[in-house]
């Protein structure tokens, strides 16, 4: 199943189709414009899939542009991670890699023109005065005392601002629009501020930096972007975006269209909060497998295809919805079910002795690598007298619907034999030590015996003599609340204290060959990805997502 089966027909794509049909545009150009001040998350994936997806579907192109107009918050570390993440997601911008800082000179020249034509002025007020002068939602603002200073004076001051004559905050350049406008963005927005800060690309060349509103539309125009797609919070900025495009002699007229940003249950998405999780060590880093970042999901074992399919299926609207994280997990599971190789691993082992199995014998059992793709063939799994099974797969006082191992009961050991539990060995405290079982030689490979006996359950196992130890990190949701943002108190109050559980597991030996970054299925348990923390001696696995567990549901009910 692929994305292409059902082409999207959201309102943005409809606008684009109309623009193509009417001849307004012959080629579609979009852009993904992150600010390099943090790591990309699943919300960005929605925007990436939208912008790059549209370029692919309509035979256009999509630029990657770093919106690097605020040196105080930005860093090359973020530039590098963003490039890596977009590539990993599966998109390519060819030669179209740009930076807003590439346009600083041109933006400066246009600002000069705005001053010359009386559409901008240098304001000497400080931030507080400007804020006060702007009025509020009910009351109009008042003009700055510097609003009507002669253009030549503003020109001189603006030049001096650039030359570094003033300190941070001493002066700003403002557009001269309307201090009583109902849209606050029109109350003489700031175009340039002074910031004596080191920029990760332009170094110390500049000490004045353009604001988002002033830089973004012009950058779009310079790149001949046809459709500038952004999230809903920029709706009020669109008229200003258009004002600049109209009042400046730009080479193209891009159109801004807004869509709803992605919200997911059981997580937070704001960069500020994600940064806080990292800096206060609630997680191990931006790429912690519990983070909604692309690097976290990659490390968790989410395939890029699953994320792309998710973004495709949630669609694009203006309705501020919250998607169930289960939908994402479902897309991930679909891809993994198709692709992941199957292995057996025991996370919470209990020993089984096969009392009637020869002490020194070892058999290599054949096990299918992936039932969804039988062409992949089989692997060998060693079977001997001592095994491990999952503690959950045995119950002394089992309910009727418990199809696994119980005293006197018989189950199939996957791809091996049918075993019957003869004796339960306990220690002084009553804790189960080991199980003594007998096997039926007529069931080799797990086949049905000739006498027509039936068995309800099949459980996984690992040979105790051949097992490889590994660390397994079992992850759960990072937050306990569906919406940690809306819940009472700080979002940090709702962190799930059990979002990670570390176990030492017993693996079948073939698992030793799985490489870092690969995701496999531990049969009956879930999907697990080899983590970068793995060493020569010990592999580390992250649980990507558990398999559906309908027994847990039945057990939970009774």
Minimal distance in Å, beta carbon 535 to RNA?
Answer: 28
Minimal distance in Å, beta carbon 455 to RNA?
Answer: 9
Site size with RNA, rule: CB under 7 A: 92
Region binding RNA by CB under 7 A among candidate stretches 106-114, 120-128, 422-430, 537-545: 120-128
Burial (CB < 10 A; 0-12, 13-18, 19+), residue 266, is buried
Q: Taking CB under 7 A as the rule, does residue 77 contact RNA?
A: no
Task: Indicate which single residue of 77, 148, 204, 233 sits in contact with RNA (rule: CB under 7 A).
Answer: 233
**Closest CB to RNA among 28 and 389?**
389
Q: Single out the residue of 38, 96, 19 nearest to residue 65, CA to CA.
A: 96
Task: Indicate which single residue of 46, 312, 385, 404 sits in contact with RNA (rule: CB under 7 A).
Answer: 404
What is the spatial distance between Cα 447 and Cα 33, in angstroms, rounded to a whole number?
A: 58
What is the spatial distance between Cα 62 and Cα 93, in angstroms, rounded to a whole number?
A: 6
What is the spatial distance between Cα 187 and Cα 495, in angstroms, rounded to a whole number?
A: 41
Q: Taking CB under 7 A as the rule, does residue 96 contact RNA?
A: no
Region binding RNA by CB under 7 A among candidate stretches 123-131, 246-254, 286-294, 471-479: 123-131
Task: Indicate which single residue of 56, 202, 337, 534 sits in contact with RNA (rule: CB under 7 A).
Answer: 337
**Closest CB to RNA among 445 and 517?**
445
Q: Pairing state of beta strands 410-413 and 342-343? A: unpaired
404 is a catalytic site residue: no
- What are the tokens at 124? 């000497």
**Closest CB to RNA among 248 and 365?**
365
* Active-site entry in 261, 420, 444, 477: 261
273 is a catalytic site residue: no
Region binding RNA by CB under 7 A among candidate stretches 86-94, 152-160, 398-406, 425-433: 398-406
* Cα–Cα distance list, 114 to 101, 121, 144, 206 (Å): 20, 8, 18, 20
Q: How far is CA 398 from the centre of its chain?
A: 41
**Closest CB to RNA among 112 and 345?**
345
What is residue 85's three-state secondary structure?
Answer: helix
Inter-axis angle of helices 42-57 and 304-314, nearest 10: 80
Task: Indicate which single residue of 109, 148, 324, 501 sits in contact with RNA (rule: CB under 7 A).
Answer: 324
Minimal distance in Å, beta carbon 73 to RNA?
Answer: 6
**Closest CB to RNA among 202 and 284?**
202
What is the spatial distance between Cα 400 and Cα 259, in angstroms, rounded to a whole number?
A: 52
* Active-site entry in 13, 176, 271, 300: 271
DSSP states of 135-176 as a string? Answer: --SSS-----TTTTS-HHHHHHHHHHHHHT-S-TTS-EEEE-
The residue length of the chain stands at 558
Phi, psi angle pair for 37, to nearest 5°: -125, 15
129 is a catalytic site residue: no
Q: Taking CB under 7 A as the rule, does residue 305 contact RNA?
A: no
Minimal distance in Å, beta carbon 427 to RNA?
Answer: 26
CA end-to-end distance (rounded Å), the chain: 38
**Closest CB to RNA among 298 and 369?**
369
Per-residue interface string for the shown chain with RNA, residues 474-493, x marking contact by CB under 7 A: --------------------
Minimal distance in Å, beta carbon 532 to RNA?
Answer: 26
**Closest CB to RNA among 318 and 426?**
318
Burial annotation 103-139 (CB, 10 A radius, 16+ → b, else e): bbeebbebbbebbeeebbbbbebeeeebeebbbeeee
Q: Taking CB under 7 A as the rule, does residue 401 contact RNA?
A: yes
Q: Which residues pair with 63 in a beta bridge?
A: 31
Query: Could you say which residues in the range 523-552 bind RNA, by CB under 7 A?
Result: 523-524, 547-551
Phi, psi angle pair for 42, to nearest 5°: -60, -25
What is residue 444's three-state secondary structure?
Answer: helix
Q: Taking CB under 7 A as the rule, does residue 407 contact RNA?
A: no
What is residue 443's three-state secondary structure?
Answer: helix
Per-residue interface string for the shown chain with RNA, residues 428-447, x marking contact by CB under 7 A: -----------------xxx
Per-residue interface string for the shown chain with RNA, residues 159-178, x marking contact by CB under 7 A: ---------xxxxx------
Region binding RNA by CB under 7 A among candidate stretches 198-206, 410-418, 493-501, 531-539: 410-418
**Closest CB to RNA among 132 and 156?**
132
Which residues belong to the active site? 35, 261, 271
């Amino acid at each position: 199943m692929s994305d292409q089966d059902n082409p999207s027909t959201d309102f943005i794509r409809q606008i684009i189709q109309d623009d193509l049909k009417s001849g307004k545009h012959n080629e579609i150009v979009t852009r993904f414009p992150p600010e390099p001040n943090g790591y990309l998350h699943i919300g960005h994936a929605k925007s990436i899939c939208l912008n790059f997806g549209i370029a692919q579907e309509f035979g256009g192109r999509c630029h990657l542009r770093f919106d690097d107009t605020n040196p105080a918050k930005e860093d090359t570390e973020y530039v590098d991670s963003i490039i890596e993440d977009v590539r990993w997601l599966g998109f390519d911008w060819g030669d179209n890699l740009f930076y807003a800082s590439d346009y600083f000179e041109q933006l400066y020249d246009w600002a000069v023109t705005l001053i010359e034509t009386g559409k901008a002025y240098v304001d000497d007020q400080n931030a507080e005065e400007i804020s006060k002068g702007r009025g509020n939602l009910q009351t109009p603002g008042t003009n700055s005392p510097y609003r009507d200073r002669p253009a030549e004076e503003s020109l001189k001051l603006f030049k001096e601002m650039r030359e570094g004559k003033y300190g941070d905050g001493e002066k700003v350049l403002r557009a001269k629009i309307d201090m009583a406008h109902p849209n606050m963005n029109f109350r003489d927005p700031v175009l340039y501020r002074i910031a004596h800060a080191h920029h990760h690309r332009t170094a110390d060349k500049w000490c004045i930096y353009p604001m988002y509103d002033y830089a973004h539309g012009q950058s779009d125009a310079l790149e001949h972007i046809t459709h500038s797609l952004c999230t809903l919070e920029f709706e009020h900025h669109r008229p200003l975006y258009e004002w600049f495009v109209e009042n400046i002699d730009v080479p193209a007229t891009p159109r801004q269209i807004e869509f709803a940003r992605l919200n997911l249950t059981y997580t937070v998405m704001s960069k500020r909060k994600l940064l806080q999780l990292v800096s206060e060590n609630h997680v191990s880093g931006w790429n912690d497998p519990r983070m909604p970042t692309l690097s976290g999901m990659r490390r968790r074992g989410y395939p890029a295809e699953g994320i792309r399919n998710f973004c495709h299926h949630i669609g694009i609207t203006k309705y501020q919805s919250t998607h169930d994280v289960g939908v994402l997990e479902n897309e991930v599971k679909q891809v993994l079910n198709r692709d992941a190789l199957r292995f057996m691993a025991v996370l919470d082992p209990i020993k089984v002795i096969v009392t009637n199995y020869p002490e020194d014998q070892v058999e290599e059992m054949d096990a299918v690598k992936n039932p969804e793709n039988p062409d992949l063939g089989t692997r060998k799994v060693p079977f001997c007298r001592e095994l491990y099974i999952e503690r959950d797969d045995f119950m002394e006082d089992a309910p009727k619907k418990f199809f696994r191992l119980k005293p006197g009961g018989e189950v199939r050991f996957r791809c091996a034999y049918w075993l019957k539990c003869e004796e339960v060995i306990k220690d002084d405290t009553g804790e189960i030590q080991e199980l003594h079982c007998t096997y039926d030689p007529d069931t080799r490979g797990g086949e049905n015996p000739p006498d027509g006996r039936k068995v309800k359950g099949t459980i996984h196992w690992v040979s105790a003599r051949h097992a490889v130890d590994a660390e397994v990190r079992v992850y759960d949701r990072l937050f306990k609340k569906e919406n940690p943002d809306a819940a009472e108190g700080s979002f940090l109050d709702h962190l799930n204290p059990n979002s990670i559980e570390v176990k030492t597991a017993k693996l079948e030996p073939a698992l030793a060959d799985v490489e870092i970054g690969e995701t496999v299925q531990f049969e009956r348990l879930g999907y697990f990805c080899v983590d970068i923390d793995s060493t020569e001696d010990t592999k580390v696995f992250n649980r990507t997502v558990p398999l559906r567990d309908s027994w847990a549901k039945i057990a939970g009910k009774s």
